[in-house]
Structure 1
């Protein structure tokens, strides 16, 4: 009897020990798996965060580079566009010819209504310089060019961009009743450096009354001068 009870107790103790051992092993496995899972998740989060940060930095740098390039291009374009206004003549600029421009004449406001305003407009597709003064001959019977007034000469020749005008004032008389004048409805004009004759129509239905002895011309200038006060 004692032997059987002793054996039962031993089996119970052994069963309990086995149960505890299995429980401990099972608990350790769950803990390890949980720990491994946590570590794996943390590693994945770290990699994901690292990738996101790296991508963001690269995009920002790319955007900054693009902005910088656009800014430089814009600034360059802006600088290039600012340059045509007020351009000064250089040796490389082509000289305007009769084929590059059209010339019109209008009577300057008066009285004494003794001056013409000549307008030379660049009708070509290139820029060109317009040096000197218009070589005007009013009368077939008077084959001399109208003398130029030196004080109207600009510091540098006018450079005409396509569509831009230049001006010259021409005095054709003193406006007196005792002058020896002749009626002129059209006259000839040549440009400096080009012998091609440009025919210019005089303003008004009756033309103008020209006194060759009193005629004077100014130089080509980029803006209209008050030639009646100068000569």
Structure 2
């Protein structure tokens, strides 16, 4: 009987040792149990419907938002932007799409302004072309062949918007000739040239009066083209 009990005890001890060995093989080197295996795609799809057969519900992942902020228009472009450019559209200044006037579009005449000593001249550019055109900047005037530079412009007379002259309508420019009176520095002019800005060409203009006009290179100046003759506004 002792032999039987001893054999039974040895068998039980061997079984216990085998169980301990199998348990140790199921742990990693750090002594912790390995992480559970990730579910297969089929299992994830089955759980995405929120089924409760396993006692829990799977949460769906929200799609990532588009990069950047701000409202978008058609095609996903930012509102107010031109597709393909990435920058807001902007309107061109009024009148800039109208072609520049040339000497084939306008006729230029000159008249004295005020009474003696006639210190100012008025240039009139009238559009006879039958279409609108734009007078660029100021008239480039050459009174004397001995002076290579054009008569300087007065910046304060520049209009705020482009000067567009419709068919049959005029525009004006006031020109200072001298300081008044008769001076040795004054020179007589019977005709002069006016060049239009923007490549508009050159026109020869007859000076008013039977004897022409007297100009003083030391003080002469011209104003910009303006759509109306302003009383006192261009006096300089």
With the shorter chain as reference, the TM-score category is 0.5 to 0.7
How does the TM-score come out when normalised to structure 1? 0.59
- 1:185–1:202 Cα contact (<8 Å) kept: yes
- Structure 2 residue aligned with 1:207: 212
Q: CA deviation at 1:212?
A: 1.2
- Structure 1 residue aligned with 2:131: 126
Show CA shifts across 1:14-55 (max 9, x none). Answer: xxxxxxxxxxxxxxxxxxxxxxxxxxxxxxxxxxxxxxxxxx
Q: CA deviation at 1:153?
A: 0.7
Structure 1 segments, 4+ long, off by >6 Å, are none
Show CA shifts across 1:128-157 (max 9, x none). Answer: 111200000100111211011111111012
Is it true that 1:149 corresponds to 2:154 in the alignment? Answer: yes
User: Equivalents in 1 of 2:231, 2:117: separation in Å?
Assistant: 13
User: Equivalents in 1 of 2:215, 2:117: separation in Å?
Assistant: 14
- Structure 1 residue aligned with 2:182: 177
User: Equivalents in 2 of 1:150, 1:192: separation in Å?
Assistant: 15
- Structure 2 residue aligned with 1:188: 193
Is it true that 1:135 corresponds to 2:118 in the alignment? Answer: no
- 1:169–1:225 Cα contact (<8 Å) kept: no
How does the TM-score come out when normalised to structure 2? 0.58
Larger RCO (CA under 8 A, 6+ residues apart): 1
- 1:128–1:159 Cα contact (<8 Å) kept: yes
Q: CA deviation at 1:222?
A: 0.7
Out of 114, 118, 126, the position equivalent to 2:119 is: 114
User: Equivalents in 1 of 2:227, 2:98: separation in Å?
Assistant: 16
Q: CA deviation at 1:179?
A: 4.6
What is the aligned residue count?
A: 144
Out of 90, 98, 110, the position equivalent to 1:93 is: 98
Q: CA deviation at 1:109?
A: 1.3
- Note closer, same or farther for the CA distance 1:228–1:160 as it changes in structure 2 (3 Å cut): closer
User: Equivalents in 1 of 2:131, 2:233: separation in Å?
Assistant: 33
Is it true that 1:102 corresponds to 2:107 in the alignment? Answer: yes
- 2:95–2:164 Cα contact (<8 Å) kept: no
Gaps of 5+ in 2: 1-92
User: Equivalents in 1 of 2:135, 2:234: separation in Å?
Assistant: 24
Gaps of 5+ in 1: 1-87
Instruction: Report the secondary structure of 1:170's partner residue.
Output: strand
User: Equivalents in 1 of 2:157, 2:194: separation in Å?
Assistant: 18
Q: CA deviation at 1:194?
A: 1.7
Instruction: Report the secondary structure of 2:194's partner residue.
Output: strand
